Amino acid sequence: MAWGNQTFTSDFILLGIFNHSPTHIFLFSLVLVIFIVAFMGNTAMILLIYLDPQLHTPMYFLLSQLSLMDLMLITTTVPKMAFNYLSGSKSISVAGCATQIFFYTSLLGCECFLLAVMAYDRYIAICHPLRYPNLMSPKICGLMTASSWILGSTDGVIDAVATFSFSYCGSREIAQFFCDFPSLLIISCNDTSTFEEVLFYCCIIMIIFPVAVIIASYARVILAVIRMASGEGRRKAFATCSSHLMVVGMYYGAALFMYMRPTSDRSPNQDKTVSVFYTILTPILNPLIYSLRNKEVARAFMKVLGKGKSGQ
């Protein structure tokens, strides 16, 4: 088996995205600021939803899970990138690389399925409000969320094991700032075409199927919203759904571009740019989109601030 032939004392080299020019030092500093804001924003979102009883609903529970996934995703890639840049080291061990691939791929898969669950939740809430307590009970919501985690983690295990079933000879330089399995396949000395074909069909299940669920759910939601007699109800429904659709568009657009292209069509610069978008920028945009466009989250935040001031 090729895994047994891997040279575990020979690390991979992450080429990264920054050098030490003034412009790149500024961009690196900007990434660190984004990381801190994303870390704090997603942590605050999770704590707000946990602490405020009025946010203990399926929609906000799912939102807290999305924030948790974003929090884990950004901490999977940015700290290692920052350490390598500041220390001058570009290496990552085989075990470290496999760990990054597992968590990174798992979390992307989890988010794919969770976003579909969130779309279904909005469909039930708007199109079948009287049946919502039964169709989105805490038990059903918990089962769907757990399924998202399990399916995503299964995909992560499969991708990590499959990636390291190949041999890597010659250059062990990865044209990325983290271990991403498409970038590893490029430097493999084995024929990876069969795995890439299997990966393409897996992406259909992991990306296209959830997208189909989202499109079907929101098509029904839009029709229901248009028929609403109340202008206030229509505005509230559109505000909630538009926030979710903004996240879906950013996330799936980048995922489709990244993982449904053959290795031969890949450009390292394009891959780095897209990777920065959905591993660094998306985790900061999610809490901003949902908090700035959501009165309940804003109210909970002000309530916590008020308690903090009164306790001083």
One DSSP character per residue, 250-289 reads HHHHHHHHHHSS-GGG--HHHHHHHHHIIIIIHHHHHHHH
As a whole number of angstroms, the distance between CA 293 and CA 276 comes to 24
pTM: 0.85
Rounded to a whole number of angstroms, the distance between the first and last alpha carbons of the chain is 63
Length in residues, the chain: 312
Instruction: Print burial letters for 259-287: b (CB count within 10 Å at least 16), e (below 16).
Output: bebeeeebeeeebbebbbbbbbbbbbbbb
Q: What percent of the chain has pLDDT over 90?
A: 28
pLDDT digits (tens, 9 = 90+) for 76-109: 999 999 999 999 888 899 899 999 999 998 998 8
As a whole number of angstroms, the distance between CA 255 and CA 279 comes to 11
Strand 91-92 to 12-14 pairing: antiparallel
pLDDT digits (tens, 9 = 90+) for 1-34: 444 444 445 788 888 888 888 988 998 999 999 9
pLDDT band at 249 (very low <50, low <70, confident <90, very high): confident
CATH numbers and ranges of domains, the chain: 14-288 (1.20.1070.10)
